[in-house]
Structure 1
């Protein structure tokens, strides 16, 4: 059950991350990366690790976007 919840959090974060790839909205990732990491923490409690891995990939995409935008853009 926690694996499904973790995957759902990752999916919601990924959908919300789509507008953050538009220039000047990249600062939205400052909220979305911790949200994805929270989903990964929930996935760590589960016996399966699919949701956790998905959340970590989503967090990595957000962190990469922050890195490329200089943390602001």
Structure 2
């Protein structure tokens, strides 16, 4: 059950993170990153690892985008 919740949280973060790859709206990564972090923690509590891996990928992409642009652009 926690895996399904983690996947749903990851899908919400993914919907926010995809448009955030466009340079003008990249500040949305500040919203996607904490949502994916919550999904990752919920995925850690699950016995399966699908939701955890989904949120981990979103965390890496959003975190790398924030890191490369200094968190602003």
TM over 0.5: yes
What are the within-5 Å matches in structure 2 for residues 17-32 of structure 1?
A: 17-32=17-32
CA distance in 2, matches of 1:44, 1:67: 24
Gaps of 5+ in 2: none
Q: Give the equivalent residue in structure 2 for 1:33.
A: 33
CA distance in 2, matches of 1:29, 1:66: 7
CA distance in 2, matches of 1:19, 1:50: 23
Q: TM-score, normalised by structure 2?
A: 0.90
The aligned length equals 73
Q: Give the equivalent residue in structure 2 for 1:14.
A: 14
Runs of 4+ in 1 over 2 A off after TM superposition: none
**When you count helix as a share of all residues, which structure comes out higher?**
2
Q: TM-score, normalised by structure 1?
A: 0.90
Deviation at 1:11, TM superposition (A): 1.4
